């Protein structure tokens, strides 16, 4: 049987797990993720000190917590990246079940921390945002459904995934969390396309989403306020968008200098949703392009490695995870430069936040596991067996 592998070194099944993992994992993507986390700590040193002082905490309180959260996230990512696609699927289904139950519980025991959206479960010593963990589990579950529908005599998996997506998007919109709902919808549409869905169905789904947006605009003050603020010709300089826009303009090409930025003293979310504004002001256009390049490298390399993947689940789930990771970063930065309405979405591995960074670790661990080099049957060999 003719076989091919991605990478220069064939996979030897009898090898110990760590050497086999190191030979097969995408080292460039792994390095880019570590670099993003390191840049996040650097920006956290600049952005979070004013917040700590306002809250009468030690100056590096938030940076220290981010280092702990990030260490846990990187460890989780490395462990998950060693799993097989079958184990990734099982982990994803269990993760979805747990996060889905937590989202269902939010209207009863959730809190909004004064932000107008009930998205968090308060544990006293920390808070958890279940929707962050729901995303990778949702992608794995829907990819499993879609892959199963491609088998001869398989179930109507794409229809099942549609119902799951509708329920999840509805629950997120009720919080309200339209940013996460939009991201879940985008990931599902990408997977639906990769699974071979007709363009007509995808177009119809987009149309339904548009009608849902119009309904939300007419019935949700939270949603309408953000859309109106985005469409307004004038930007209030006293809002977060106003501060962020001004900081990005002030930064120029090389920035005003480390520690010299002022936006971090004005923005309450400078260390989370608007950390890219701090990067732009203090380190300039060069830092912003570096961050964009790192995200782009992870997404593009992952998609290229998935092109030759024969396992339907690995291919569909991998594309969904890669696109969700990249689009979340795109949305965060798009909001900061006023290309998109405010979403309240973090920058993966860079923004402060326990739920965000650990969920990003799970997402990237699953993606690295699915893009590892594995023996793939050559297409001519598959066709040859089908003709016999």
Residue spans per domain, the chain: 26-371
Mean pLDDT of 100-126: 81
pTM: predicted TM-score of the whole model, two decimal places: 0.87
pLDDT score of 237:
61
Q: Is the pLDDT of residue 2 over 50?
A: no
What does the pLDDT read at residue 12?
54
Lowest-confidence segment of 96-110, 208-222, 308-322 by average pLDDT? 208-222
Winning range, highest mean pLDDT, from 75-84, 203-212, 249-258: 75-84
Task: Give SS3 for 157.
Answer: helix
User: What sign has the CA pseudo-torsion 301, 331, 141, 99?
Assistant: positive
pLDDT, average across residues 378-387: 43
pLDDT of residue 216: 79
- Give yes or no for residue 295 having a pLDDT over 80: yes
What's the alpha-carbon Rg for the chain, to the nearest Å?
Answer: 22
How many angstroms separate the Cα of 139 from the Cα of each of 186, 188, 249, 317, 350? 11, 7, 37, 6, 22
Largest CA distance in the chain: 74
Q: How confident is the model at residue 274 (pLDDT cuts 50, 70, 90)?
A: confident
How many CB atoms are located within 10 Å of the residue 224 CB? 13
DSSP 204-217: HHHHHHHHHHHHHH
Q: Is the pLDDT of residue 114 over 80?
A: no
Q: pLDDT at position 9, please?
A: 47
119: left (phi over 0), alpha (psi -120 to 50) or beta: alpha
- Looking at the chain, the whole-number percentage of residues with pLDDT higher than 90 is 47
């Amino acid at each position: 049987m003719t076989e091919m592998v991605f990478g220069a070194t064939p996979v030897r099944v009898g090898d110990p797990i760590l050497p086999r993992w190191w030979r097969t994992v995408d080292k460039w993507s792994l390095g880019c993720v570590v670099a993003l986390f390191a840049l996040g700590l650097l920006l956290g040193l600049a952005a979070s000190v004013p917040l700590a002082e306002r809250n009468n905490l030690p100056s590096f309180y938030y940076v220290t917590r981010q280092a702990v959260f990030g260490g846990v996230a990187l460890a989780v990512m490395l462990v998950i990246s060693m799993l097989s696609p079958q184990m990734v699927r099982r982990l994803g289904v269990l993760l979805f079940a747990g996060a889905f139950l937590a989202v269902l519980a939010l209207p009863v025991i959730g809190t909004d921390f004064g932000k107008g959206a009930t998205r968090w479960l308060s544990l006293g010593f920390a808070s958890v945002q279940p929707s962050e963990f729901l995303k990778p589990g949702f992608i794995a579950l829907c990819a499993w459904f879609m892959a199963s529908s491609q088998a001869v005599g398989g179930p109507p998996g794409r229809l099942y995934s549609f119902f799951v997506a509708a329920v999840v998007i509805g629950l997120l919109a009720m919080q309200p969390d339209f940013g996460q709902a939009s991201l879940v919808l985008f990931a599902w549409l990408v997977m639906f396309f990769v699974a071979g869905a007709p363009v007509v169905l995808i177009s119809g789904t987009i149309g339904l989403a548009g009608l849902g947006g119009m309904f939300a605009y007419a019935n949700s003050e939270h949603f309408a306020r953000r859309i109106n603020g985005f469409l307004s010709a004038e930007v209030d300089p006293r809002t977060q968008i106003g501060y962020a826009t001004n900081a990005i303009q002030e930064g120029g090409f090389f920035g005003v200098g480390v520690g010299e930025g002022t936006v971090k003293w004005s923005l309450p979310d400078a260390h989370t949703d608007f950390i890219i504004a701090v990067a732009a002001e203090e380190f300039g256009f060069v830092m912003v392009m570096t961050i964009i390049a790192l995200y782009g490298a992870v997404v593009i390399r992952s998609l290229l490695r998935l092109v030759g993947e024969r396992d339907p689940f690995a291919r569909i789930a991998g594309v969904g995870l890669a696109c969700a990771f990249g689009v979340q970063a795109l949305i965060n930065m798009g909001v900061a430069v006023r290309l998109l309405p405010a979403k309240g979405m973090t920058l993966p591995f860079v923004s402060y936040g326990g739920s965000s960074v650990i969920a990003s670790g799970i997402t990237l661990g699953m993606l690295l596991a699915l893009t590892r080099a594995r023996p793939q049957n050559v297409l001519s060999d598959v066709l040859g067996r089908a003709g016999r």
